[in-house]
Amino acid sequence: MSSEGVLPAQGDNALLDKEAPQTVSEAQSEIIRKNISAITEVQRDEDSKRSLSERTSDLITNFSGSMFFVWLHAVWFGIWILLNVGLVHLPHVSEFDPFPFGLLTMIVSLEAIFLSTFVLISQTGWRV
């Protein structure tokens, strides 16, 4: 009897036994391949049914959940604050939104409203 197709022994010590055979038969491998293909096909079918607004909200949600988004905002806020407290002076640009940064607050609040909406659309698969 060949060792191909032999699965690990069933029992309490089977997971601890490093000598237990770990091979899978070709028939089992074919079944696994077919299952993976079937799952992939179902996912493609479901993705093709998604509306443009759902795909757009997924893209925005993925971007806003990235570290690039965090760093972009950190740089943006840093530059905004430096310009508006007078630490960096650029003619015709500096001090356009003096402390307490009402314009920045409004922009960030609107961004939060829209991002939370996109996240909700993306999570629930809501059809618009």
Residues sharing a CB contact under 8 Å with residue 26, sequence separation 6 or more, in sequence order:
4, 5
Using CA atoms, how far apart are residues 10 and 14, in angstroms rounded to an integer? 6
State the pLDDT confidence band at 13, using cuts at 50, 70 and 90: low
Q: Which two tokens stand for residue 93?
A: 């640009």
pLDDT tens for 15-24 read 555 555 567 6
pLDDT tens for 59-98 read 898 899 999 999 999 999 999 999 999 888 888 888 889 8
Using CA atoms, how far apart are residues 49 and 21, in angstroms rounded to an integer? 43
Using CA atoms, how far apart are residues 31 and 70, in angstroms rounded to an integer? 43
pTM above 0.85, yes or no: no
Q: Is 78 helix (H, G, I), strand (E, B) or coil?
A: helix
For the chain, what is the mean pLDDT? 82
